[in-house]
Amino acid sequence: MALGEFDLIKRYFAPLAEASSDASVALGVGDDCAILNCPEGHQLVVSIDSLVEGTHFLQDTPADQLASRLFGAAVSDLAAMGAKPAWITLALTLPQANELWLERFSQKLGQLCLQYGISLIGGDTTKGPLSLTAQVHGFVPVGKALKRSGAQKGDLICVSGRLGDSRGGLEGLLNGFPDSRGVEYLSERFFAPSPRVELGLALTDKASAAIDISDGLLSDLSHILKASGAADEPLGARLQLEALPLSEELVSCFGEDQARQWALSGGEDFELCFTLPAEHLPTLHNLPEAIAVIGKITDDADIRLYDRGQECALSGAGYDHFKNPG
């Protein structure tokens, strides 16, 4: 690299680390390790995510979009656990030290770190095919993390925000947006997911289980069902399709049927899906995000879909594990 590894770190990443005056960081970027103080009475919650060129994104994806997606996906996992974000480490593999790229990437990352109160505490920088990895660290009071296990029969199934937008944004970017009203909003939903950190914190002591929607609602909800059920007491779900929260932009661009399909199976919305004992619903007020109740946990051992009371099946490849009621 024309710009040496150490100069690169010093110029683009050390300033980010210094920007946060975080008392929990006893020693940040610059030594062999960071030294960190964990608040008493809390557990450390850790998650790591990678973006690899050619696998997760196309060549020439702008650096600021990569920073947003990397950060959003990683911090969303903390949100899903009800954790308060604290620190991030960053492993970058770069084909070359492109200063414009580094400038855009580090600027966006720094902006997001400030916005979410996260300190960059270290990383690794190597040369090779473009790949970005972020490990995030957060805290929960001991025993208070929201897990995938914990859902019970009768619990309400809820989601935050609107679903399917990210998949719609990707579709528009690849094949064009049929309606100009969706261009800005849907592209943004794809490029710059908003991890629902405040909502995750608000659900502590309320939600019985939670997950962030990264693979698609059906897939991620089935993780909750699997983790919460037992071999002799499996759990299922009943979902009301008309209750799926859809954006006007998604529906106006792609129609309601397609929007619903993407709400069920499109990935990377990074909204939260959580289960809630019904008696807790009235206690959820002043939430930082809109939430929608979309169904109920059952003991069916299957996810069943209903459209205004009528059971229905999803068509299309990939969903044939759903029983066709006809």
Among 7, 18, 99, 124, binds Mg ion (CB under 5 A): 124
Residue 16 Cβ, how far from Mg ion at the closest point, in Å? 17
**By CB under 5 A, residue 126 contacts Mg ion:** no
Of the ranges 118-126, 202-210, 256-264, 315-323, which one interacts with Mg ion (CB under 5 A)?
Answer: 118-126
Tokens of 222: 């089935």
List residues binding ligand ADP (CB under 6 A). 9, 13, 29-32, 90, 92, 120, 122-125
Of the ranges 100-108, 119-127, 210-218, 257-265, which one interacts with Mg ion (CB under 5 A)?
Answer: 119-127
123 binds, among Mg ion, ligand ADP, none (CB under 5 to 8 A by kind): ligand ADP
* 109 in Cβ contact with 120 (< 8 Å): yes
* 189 in Cβ contact with 170 (< 8 Å): no
Of residues 30 and 154, the one with the C-beta less far from ligand ADP: 30
Of residues 14 and 281, the one with the C-beta less far from ligand ADP: 14
Q: Give a three-class secondary structure readout of 137-169.
A: EEEEECCCCCCCCCCCCCCEEEEECCCCHHHHH
Residue 304 Cβ, how far from Mg ion at the closest point, in Å? 50
Of residues 118 and 253, the one with the C-beta less far from ligand ADP: 118
Cα-Cα-Cα-Cα dihedral sign, residues 293, 294, 297, 298:
positive
Pairwise CA distance, residues 25 & 143, whole Å: 24
